[in-house]
Amino acid sequence: MTTSVPRRPGLRARLGDRVLSLVEAATTPLLPTDYLDVFAPLRSGADLRGRVVEIRPETADAATLVIRPGRGWREHTPGQYVRLGVDVDGVRQWRAYSVTSDRTRTDGCLTVTVKAIPDGVVSNHLVREMRPGTVVQLDRATGDFTLPQERPEKALFVTAGSGITPVMGMLRNHLDELGDVVLVHSAPRREDVVFGAELRELAAAGGLRLVERHTGTDGLLKPAELAELVPDLAERTTWACGPVGMLEALEEHWAAEGIAERLVTERFRPRVLVTGEGGTVTFGKTGTTVEADGATPILDAAEAAGVLMPSGCRMGICYGCVLPLREGAVRDLRNGELTTAAPGDGVLVQTCVSAAAGPCDIDH
Residues ≥6 apart with Cβ < 8 Å to 314: 94, 95, 96, 270, 297, 299, 321, 352
- Least distance in angstroms from the C-beta of 64 to another protein: 23
Q: Which residue lies nearer to another protein by CB, 47 or 144?
A: 47
Nearest-angstrom CA–CA distance, 274 and 255: 23
Q: What are the start-end ranges of the H helices in the chain?
A: 11-27, 32-39, 121-124, 164-174, 196-204, 215-218, 223-229, 244-256, 298-304
Q: Which residue lies nearer to another protein by CB, 46 or 274?
A: 46
Nearest-angstrom CA–CA distance, 105 and 15: 38
Residues ≥6 apart with Cβ < 8 Å to 10: none
Q: Which residue lies nearer to another protein by CB, 196 or 312?
A: 312
- Least distance in angstroms from the C-beta of 29 to another protein: 4
- Least distance in angstroms from the C-beta of 41 to another protein: 11
- For helices 32-39 and 11-27, what crossing angle results, to 10°? 80
Q: How far apart are the first and last CA of the chain?
A: 39
Q: Which residue lies nearer to another protein by CB, 267 or 364?
A: 364
- Least distance in angstroms from the C-beta of 94 to another protein: 9
Q: Which residue lies nearer to another protein by CB, 26 or 197?
A: 26
Q: Which residue lies nearer to another protein by CB, 16 or 306?
A: 306
- Least distance in angstroms from the C-beta of 88 to another protein: 8
Q: Give buried/exposed letters for 56-70 (b at 16+ CB in 10 A, else e).
A: eebbebbbbbbbbbb
How many degrees, rounded to 5, is the angle at CA 63 between CA 68 and CA 128?
100
Cα 43 → chain centroid:
24
- Least distance in angstroms from the C-beta of 185 to another protein: 35
Q: Which residue lies nearer to another protein by CB, 303 or 345?
A: 303
Q: Which has the closest alpha carbon to 232: 152, 151, 167, 147? A: 152
- Least distance in angstroms from the C-beta of 300 to another protein: 12
Per CB under 8 A, residues contacting another protein are 22, 25-30, 34-35, 38, 87, 89-93, 286, 303, 306, 308-309
Query: For residue 78, is the peptide bond before it cis, meaning its omega torsion is within 30 degrees of 0?
Result: no
- Least distance in angstroms from the C-beta of 106 to another protein: 33
Q: Cβ atoms within 10 A of the Cβ of 124, count?
A: 17
CB 316 within 8 A of CB 350: yes
Q: Which residue lies nearer to another protein by CB, 87 or 291?
A: 87
